[in-house]
Structure 1
Amino acid sequence: MLFDYHTHTPLCRHAVGSPAEYVRRAREVGLGELGFSDHNPMPTAFDDWRMGPEELPGYLALVEEARSEAGEFPIRLGLECDFLPGYEDHLRHLAQQADWDYLIGSVHYVDPHWDIDNPAKLAKWEEKPVEEVWRLYFAAYARMAGSGLFDFLAHPDLVKKFGRKPPGDLTSYYRDAVDAIADAGLAIEVSTAGLRKEAREIYPAKRFLEMAFRRHIPVLLSSDAHRPDEVGYRFDLALGLVREVGYRELVRFERRRPIPVPIG
């Protein structure tokens, strides 16, 4: 059984389509479950791509409505939560606001003013060497893994979104993050979203995934869909990659409990 737990709603300001349309698409492409995981609200408005705190009840209502319309087709409730030092208590508070099936941790910011995957801030890439940006990103990813706040982690090498990479072997950038993920007992997503971006690669790179496999880090597939036709996007390629690396199981979640699922 395949499933897609990383999808968004228009509440994030940059997605389109109703939850019902996402569910319809999930069924069309043969998925067995669908999960919604819009960007978490923050206590202060420092970007324009997430719901506000006052909109969280509306988000929960949207997902509940999708569940009612889906009948026996399972709909999971999640949030994609930005890890930002200093906001840990806010995330702990959010964790108590609903019966979440999972909370996804993600790193978008390498400093409080730079969301590195934001096309509107491409010019900031000229202010630091690419090696430094990668070091900052993976240091933040390792801290996120050790925070104890999340069930699985999103797009592990999002930093490559615009195709900007240090030259040569990237193992040294990955190592501490992979170790922190393994030590925390977390899963990671294998996201096809990178195929739709300038990187033209799945998140994470095969080398990162090989290191994760050696550390027995569970995986699941995701699309990071921001429109219905992206649900389950190129899961054939993602499934081929995880099989090639050696995985024989995916992991699904229910009430924040991981459940291994054999790859059929």
Structure 2
Amino acid sequence: MIDGHMHLEYGELNKEYVLQFVDEAVKKKLTRIQILDHTHRFKEFEPIYAKLKEEPLQKEWLENKKMKFKDTLDDYDRLIREVKEMDLPIDVSFGLEVCYVPEYEDYIRNVLKKYHYDFIVGAIHSIDGKLYDMTFSKEILWDKYDVNDIYKRYYELVFSLVKSDIFTQLAHPDTIKMFNYYPDYDLVPTYHKLADLLVEHHVKAENNTGCYYRYNHKDIGLCDELLKILKEHGVEMITASDAHQPSHVGTNIIDIYEKTM
């Protein structure tokens, strides 16, 4: 079994912390894990968050220097080299989860071309400068804008992300549902378009359990309709926990693995 998305976010960039993820993966009988971190950890990516900083609550969140923009990609690169020299009991690969911001597409591409990662995950976490997945998101986004418009813009951004050809993997494709806001239009045509683009651009889609165990959403991973459509189109998929601490590695992967793969 594979867990294709887990974060070092709450720990240091050292081998000892990585081995906690490896040990938990072995306990959960996983055969492969993909370790990454958000771009908001790394100093090189701070410019792409400029628009988010225009909103006071988001600015405060991003100015937590214990968590944000505290390390460099060279620091991460050194860790990757050290871990890859070790004899580990399972396959471990490394990448990044990049917050895709269309205005900074060229900037992102230029930063990434200086490094070699096993995979690059693209993620949409904000709608034109407003985060949709934070405790304060209801105040700054969901209560201020039309839900239909938010969904339409979210999937426009996802389509642009896939078409950029920067990424090998799409993070949590339908995580916009996490707080149980839904549009009143049919998402099926959107799902078919997404599936076509993922196949055309050779991007994997995650079946990610994070919304289920981290935010108590009813879906254990992708909604049934989207999962069905992705499979119909032959989209390559990967199971993922979105673990942000070692104990969460592999959470609910066994529940979705067979129907995903």
Same fold by TM (over 0.5)? yes
Structure 2 contact 125–133 (Cα < 8 Å) conserved:
yes
Count of residue pairs brought into register by the alignment: 238
The answer to which structure has the higher helix fraction is 2
Tell me by how many angstroms 1:206 deviates: 1.4
Report Cα offsets for 1:137-175 as digits up to 9, x if no partner.
111111111111000111000100111112474313423
User: Of 222, 225, 239, which aligns to 1:207?
Assistant: 225
Greater Cα offset, 91-100 or 29-38: 91-100
Q: Is residue 158 of structure 1 aligned with residue 181 of structure 2?
A: no
Equivalent in 118, 133, 139 of residue 117 of structure 1: 133
Contact residue 11 and residue 17 of structure 2 kept, 8 A: no
For 1:184 and 1:53, how far apart are their aligned partners in 2?
33
Distance 1:143 1:226 in 2: 27
2:148 and 2:185 in contact (8 A); partners too: no
Aligned to 2:4: 5
How far, CA to CA, are the matches of 1:95 and 1:55 in structure 2? Answer: 13
| Greater RCO (CA < 8 Å, at least 6 residues apart) | 2
Q: Alignment partner of 1:176: what SS?
A: helix
Structure 1 residues 10 and 70, CA gap change in structure 2 (3 angstroms): farther
Are 1:26 and 2:42 counterparts? no
The aligned counterpart of 1:246 is none
TM-score (norm 1): 0.81
Counterpart of 1:131?
Answer: 148
Look up the SS of the partner of 1:78 in the other structure: strand
Cα RMSD, aligned residues only: 2.4
- The aligned counterpart of 2:69 is 52
Deviation at residue 132 of structure 1 after TM alignment: 1.2
* Cα offset, 1:121, TM superposition: 2.1
Give the letter aligned to residue 118 of structure 2: D
Distance 1:178 1:165 in 2: 20
Q: 2:248 corresponds to which residue?
A: 230
| Superposition deviation, residue 110 in structure 1 | 1.2
Moved more, 159-168 or 96-105: 159-168
Q: Is the 8 A contact 2:172 2:206 kept in 1?
A: yes
SS state at 2:6 partner: coil
TM-score (normalised: structure 2): 0.82
**Which amino acid is the alignment partner of residue 227 of structure 1?**
Q
SS state at 2:37 partner: strand
Corresponding residue to 2:239 among 201, 221, 229: 221
Which 5+ residue runs of structure 1 have no aligned equivalent?
243-248, 250-264
Unaligned runs of 5+ in 2: none
Alpha-carbon contact 2:5-2:241 (below 8 Å) kept: yes
Shift of the 210–202 alpha-carbon distance from structure 1 to 2, 3 Å rule, reads same
Partner of 1:102: 119
SS class of match (1:189): strand
* Identity %, equivalent residues: 22
63-72 or 86-95: bigger deviation: 63-72
Any conservation in 2 of the 1:156–1:203 contact (CA below 8 Å)?
no
Structure 2 CA distance for partners of 1:71 and 1:175, relative to 1, 3 Å: closer
